[in-house]
Amino acid sequence: MTARRRPFLVVALALFTLRCHEPSTAPTPITHLPRDLTAAEGRLVSTDNRFAFKLFRQIADRTPADSSLFISPLSVAMALTMTYNGAAGSTQQDMATALELNDFPLDELNASYRGLIDLLRGLDRQVTFEIANSIWYRHDWTFEQAFLDANRSYFDAAVRPLDFASPTAAQTINAWVNERTRGKIPSIVEDPLPADDVMYLINAIYFKGSWTEQFDKSRTTAGPFRLRDGSTTMVQMMSTAEPVRVRLAWSPDVTVLDLPYGGQAFSMTIVLPAEPGGLDSLIATLTEDRWNAWTAALHSGEVGVVLPKFRFSYDASLQEALSALGMGHAFCGPWVTDLTRIRTAGDLCITKVKHKAFVDVNEEGTEAAAATSVGVGVTSAPQTISVDRPFLFAIRENLSGTILFLGRVMRPEVN
């Protein structure tokens, strides 16, 4: 046995050593959804997760290799699907390709989002999870009532006319986002609003969950974190006083650690490459099938956990990434964009897709928020797993499989 493979065997034996301890204060586990997913809802979860991974790959390719990033693919997908309700012709086809919606009838798609939103809200009383949508449009323009009604009915979108020329217009929209994300995303649109923009379709998501078994703050101390280039930096590392119940899986390439929140319907799933420089290739090959294989292999066990504290914000314009996924002609350019189901005049295009996200991981749990704005305008180790190197992580709802947030940590920072 080589020296390189020996530690893997030690970790594997440690990971799959099961213990019987069950904390008496543990919340009652949530083991099923209030109802089964319909076939269409299950298809939507799979669709959104496929979109999540390919969007994340595109963004990672455009982000400096040593930079952390964090997005809510569900927020992006929901904001774009609201916009998709107004697309027709080749623009609709291009957006369907980017969003993985080919052969997904629009009525089934909308109804599935309606059902999924209802299922996820209030699923775990010990976890705060909120979804909010809104459409803001120029008060002196007219838009298709069927488009507005569909988004109001299926996405609970607040549909509001607004004087875009008012000096307080941007503040009004940003105040809505700030409120819906509990102050974590203070703004999402430019101030003042660009003269050519006539509509904003916005999604906001907020999550706050306490670990089912929290870390002891008194044990948090500086510890080494190995960087992508092999060097080491000191960061604030949380640790458990004794083994805690988690779910985990192991292979020679990755360790997968699933840390539950509250009643365990939601969790953070960490995918830790074997080597500090291994995250690049892991993300480049990240697919729904690979993700499903990791999560299907998770088994309950008890191990000590060492995890860095981190808190950071991330924001990006998604036009390049979405264009690379096939919907470039939905944006303004020297081509015809068909958003005639928003406005029959045929003079609209997507001006920008802006995304912002925030995450704070500490001893008590995790707080995360995200907002996505679609602007529409006119054309003119042993018994302990130490997360001590760059890693991928997701915050997800386990029973439906919905991925809420997806990120990578290259250098843990608390700022």
Tokens of 118: 């209802």
Query: How many C-beta atoms surround the C-beta of residue 171 within 10 A?
Result: 15
Note if the pTM is more than 0.75: yes
Interval 134-191: pLDDT, tens: 999 999 999 999 999 999 999 999 999 999 999 999 999 999 999 999 999 999 999 9
Question: Are 276 and 226 part of one and the same domain?
Answer: yes
Mean pLDDT of the chain: 92
Domain hosting residue 129, numbered range: 39-209+311-378
pLDDT range class, residue 2, cuts 50, 70, 90:
very low
d(CA 207, CA 201): 21
Angle at which helices 89-99 and 73-84 cross, to 10°: 160
> Length of the chain in residues, anyone?
415
Mean pLDDT of 288-307: 96
DSSP secondary structure of 220-272 = -EEEEEE-TTS-EEEEEEEE-SS-EEEEEEE-SSEEEEEEEETTTTEEEEEEE
- Sign of the C-alpha dihedral computed for residues 346, 80, 130 and 59 taken in this order: negative
In a domain, 156, yes or no: yes
27, pLDDT greater than 80: no
How many of the other CB atoms lie within 10 Å of CB of 3? 6
Residue carrying the six token digits 């991330």: 314
Tokens for 21? 């301890």
Residue 26 in domain = no
Query: Does 200 lie in the same domain as 256?
Result: no
Q: Under 8 Å CB-to-CB from 133, ≥6 apart: which residues?
A: 78, 79, 82, 151, 155, 156, 157, 158, 201, 202, 203, 204
Q: Is residue 16 part of a domain?
A: no
**Looking at residue 404, which CATH number applies to its domain?**
2.30.39.10
What is the C-alpha separation between 84 and 194, in angstroms, rounded? 22
Number of independent structural domains in the chain: 2
Q: 349-376 pLDDT, tens per residue?
A: 999 999 999 999 999 999 999 999 999 9
Residue 5 has pLDDT above 60, yes or no: no
Does residue 29 fall inside a structural domain? no
Between residues 235 and 1, the one the model is more confident about: 235
Asked if 135 and 254 sit in the same domain, the reply is no
Q: Which amino acid is at 368?
A: A
pLDDT tens, position by position, 65-119 = 999 999 999 999 999 999 999 999 999 999 999 999 999 999 999 999 999 999 9
Query: Based on the domain organization, do 65 and 158 belong to the same domain?
Result: yes
Query: Do 185 and 104 share a structural domain?
Result: yes
Residues 304 and 233 in one domain: yes
pLDDT digits (tens, 9 = 90+) for 193-223: 999 999 999 999 999 999 999 999 999 999 9
Note whether 72 and 145 are same-domain residues: yes
Question: In degrees, to the nearest 5, what angle opens at C-alpha 184 toward C-alphas 178 and 188?
Answer: 50
CATH label of the domain that carries residue 188: 3.30.497.10
The answer to whether residue 204 is domain-embedded is yes
Exposed e or buried b for every residue in 126-141, given b needs 16+ CB within 10 A?
bbebbbbbbbbbbeee
- 22 within some domain: no
Report yes or no on 23 lying in a domain.
no
User: Does one domain contain both 346 and 321?
Assistant: yes
Residue 385 pLDDT:
84
- The pLDDT of residue 413 is 85
Q: Are residues 55 and 166 in the same domain?
A: yes
Residue 249 in domain: yes
Mean pLDDT within 17-26: 42
